[in-house]
Amino acid sequence: MLGTIIDRLESGHEYTIKWCDETKSSQEEEDLFGAFRRRIEPQVDYFVLAMDNDQCIYKPAQVTMISEDRKTLTIRFLDSKKTNR
């Protein structure tokens, strides 16, 4: 899990998030949920959040291949215990 919402701030459109590394920060609603963001077409080497079907949670991953019809991405989950550079 990347983070957990721990509080909703007074404006009602901003949340306090506790991240997986135990740090906390506030995030605007549109940044957190992406509802008002322009859609970005993924490219090879882009970083994405992808569903891990074994654990049923979203994890950070990197796009390694895109199908010709651009409907299927092949990804590699990132190892959270080491730097992936």
Dump pLDDT digits (tens) for 12-70. 888 898 887 888 988 887 777 666 667 778 899 999 888 888 877 888 999 999 999 98
pTM for the whole structure = 0.54
Residues in a beta bridge with 74? 65
Tokens 């199908």 belong to 67
Whether the per-residue pLDDT at 81 is higher than 80: the answer is: no
Supply the pLDDT for residue 72: 92
End-to-end CA distance of the chain: 21
Tokens of 14: 């901003």
Per-domain residue ranges of the chain: 3-33, 47-77
Whether the per-residue pLDDT at 84 is higher than 60: the answer is: no
Whether the per-residue pLDDT at 85 is higher than 60: the answer is: no
15 CB burial (10 A radius; 0-12, 13-18, 19+): buried
Whether the per-residue pLDDT at 77 is higher than 80: the answer is: yes
